[in-house]
Amino acid sequence: MQTRRRDFLKTLIAVGLAPSLPWSAPLQAQPAAVFPGARIPVILTSDIGDDIDDTWALGFLLKSPELDLKLAVGDYGKPQYRARLLAKFLQTVNHADVPIGIGTDSEPRGEGPQSEWIKDYKLESYPGKVHQDGVQAIIDTILSSAVPITLISIGPMPNVAAALAREPKIATRARLVGMYGSVRRGYDGSAKVSPEWNVKADSKACQKAFKAPWEITITPLDTCGVISLDGDRYQQVRNSKDVVASTIIQNYRLWSKANKQPGSPAETHSSTLFDTVAVYLAFSQTFCKMERLGIEVTDDGFTRISSAGKPVNVATEWTNLDGFRDLLVTRLTS
């Protein structure tokens, strides 16, 4: 079995679904194995409803044939708000078969800038399964899967940390792909390294996730902080009749209005689409330069390169930034 699994992982590397790793590394730390040609089973945890990029990322995930969404869970407080957003989006774009998990009832509470879109939507009307305990749903989905799960995490991680505390074994049955940190560059491509929000908002939870014995792949601000669409690319999405694209734009307009953004940005360009890169890394690394770096998460939200840190696969640069932008537009509008 060990030999077969190593051969299997080498096949994944050859087709770009897994990073090249020393084969002396423990098997539980290797990337999730999926049969070539099969869809990759994924769980999405997201602070959807705060920044709009989570909504773009969810749409991109649903339009990526390589990925099979098994569960979507709202993380970082506002449990009902996030669950209702997930439910209405999935139902609107004809994916109400996807189960939803309600996150823990913790800070922050209340709603956010997309609340107008769900003001008349009741979670009870969602046709699919709604798990009242999203943390347990994460655990059960990972442990019941016939193949290892890819956990795509695009927000602060209190639910992920809680799942690891409740059942540490999930880290041997999954890999983590996420939007976290600032390694050599900060926001907007700045040379100043920053305490990135998803880390800083709950650094203790992030520390727990980064210390768990699963394989981790991240897009820090170095790569995800420069992703936006404008010009013809943006207009293709804005004017698309595709239900996923049009639902994203509808939410983007409401989000922009709620945030009192000057002008009409939703008519001309996107905001920064950080989280879409994490979705991309769940199925490909072709457009990125990947480095294997020791990453230490500090209490104040920095992700420092350190020999004492967790070895992490980090997308540090783009090798084809326009290729990614074109892929994102094509997927969302096709």
Domain CATH for 200:
3.90.245.10
In contact, 250 and 258? CB cutoff 8 Å: no
| pLDDT value of residue 261 | 85
In contact, 195 and 235? CB cutoff 8 Å: no
Which range marks the domain in which residue 257 is found? 2-333
Torsion of CA 42, 222, 287, 65, to 10 degrees: 20
Residues of the chain above pLDDT 90, percent: 85
| pLDDT value of residue 16 | 44
Q: pLDDT digit string (tens) for 56-113?
A: 999 999 999 999 999 999 999 999 999 999 999 999 999 999 999 999 988 899 999 9
In contact, 303 and 196? CB cutoff 8 Å: yes
Q: Which two tokens stand for residue 155?
A: 């927000």
Give one DSSP letter per residue of 216-238, joined into a string: EEEE-HHHHTT---BHHHHHHHH
**How many domains, in total, are found in the chain?**
1
